[in-house]
Structure 1
Amino acid sequence: MPRRLAADLVVPDRLHLAESPLWDDRAGVLRWVDILSGHVHGWDPRTGERTFFAAGLPVGAVLLRAAGGLLLAVADGFAVLDGGRLTRIADLDPAGGLLRMNDAVCDPQGRVFAGTMAYSHEPGGGSLYRLDADHSVHTVLPAVTISNGLDWSPDGATAYYADSPTRELRAYRYQDGRLLDPEPFAAFTDGVPDGVAVDAEGGVWVAVAFAGEIHRYLPDGTLDLVVDVPATMTTSCAFGGPDLDTLYITTATENLSPADLAAQPTAGGIFACVPGVRGRAAGRFAG
């Protein structure tokens, strides 16, 4: 049987769709987004100080940049946020406003992988894209429904990715910015795989949306640990803190009924636990 831990509420927000937790090691700040409102949040766990930016359009993810500032995967492309100014660097709107970004992450070489999904959740309506340092955009996987959960093994040879409605996390051979030879890694019957983080030991952490859990899998796919979260819409997770030993968890109120909301007063907040393993520093976009 897997071990079990409980997560505690650390930021008592009531957000609609908090996602993309990210530890900014230079600033010592946890960052995340509330996707449909287009809000980018920051929180310093030492002081409790908060930062806030309203992008004016949906934001699927926030990422770090090697040159400073942040990269945002916005509704229909990519934009740099620096000094409070938002500058578009790549446009991507093949469906004429029917799609939005849902999740994004930097690979070990500083390239960004970002996935789209249809607002209607149309099967196969989105794609997974790669943004290179020269700001060119390339299709990596077409016909994706809800793109989620990409991270790499410590050696960079394996990428873990989920198209959430498949209820499966897959392991891909990673080569030259491509996802190759997919194999099943973990299957989910209660809930669906959402955000993913890989720790320094190669353990794969998966937010299981609709289940209120975070799962840790060993590199061989064995379920090792379950983190219980008192909010069923667990959306993503990331390691942070000065020693990268705290697991931060985002949650949402989306898809919750009035009865669910009453029963889950902390839903939409940010949770944390200290699981006894360390994470890895987030990659930075090279462009």
Structure 2
Amino acid sequence: MEIEVLGGLEVRRNGRSIVPSGSEAQQVLALLAARADQVVPMTSLICEIWQDTPPHDARRRVEALVCQLRKRLAAALQLGGEPAAAASSILVSVPGGVLLDSRCSTVDFRAFQRSVGAGLRLLEAGRVAEAARRLRDALDLWRGPVFAGVRQGPYLEAEARPLKEARLGALDQWAEAELRLGRQAELVPELTLLTGRHRTDEGLHGKLMTALHRCGRSDEALAVYNWFRAALAREHGTEPSDRLGRIRHGILLEVHDTKPTSLLLRDDFLLQVA
């Protein structure tokens, strides 16, 4: 089975999607997929759909949604010559909850986590080109926003949050690896798009400032700092960290020729402010 949540929800068996059209059934499947191999309590599924105002027959309705998903899975199994009855051992009802068994499955967010971990270890070991490739492989698994198109209640929002944060962290480390490889010119367009989408992510703005400065576009790099500072004040009422301030200060030093040794053209400066 293929389980994908890094973009629109997709769960396939034998090439056939089992994702239903109904929003409530999609929420149930998405939460089961996000917690694959864990029992999801019935109370969590009810709260995910109806929050604090569940109907009096909420449990029966969730059980009906699970039954609907199991029928779709059974049809997909039969398509591949597998017994339809196996659906009950993949989408398992247990006392108090439901479990999606992901054995013999590919799960995109787990593949993402493995690739990011491998990339970070390679970066720490100084194998920068390999690290950049592994981190790029991880990022390429994302097809869009996590659970895109699925209505998200409190439990799906809680599952989505760390995945979003992990993606931003991977983007930041991938950009650092690319900068160490001297690929600042190629980075600028992508970082410009990313900082537009993530207006208050400091790591990405710092990498864009560095890339622009290394391309000889120091005025634009300083403008990025000013834009970021304004966005941070407007949206969060805070100031940039000392880390970003040191990047800005290093650019100003070079622009005004007050320091003979280039700071931002050296990789060790990146390491000092990371």
* TM-score of the two chains, using structure 1 as the length reference: 0.22
Structure 1 or 2: larger helix share?
Answer: 2
- Which of the pair has the greater relative contact order for Cα pairs under 8 Å at 6+ separation? 1
Which structure is larger by alpha-carbon Rg, 1 or 2?
A: 2
More strand per residue: 1 or 2?
Answer: 1
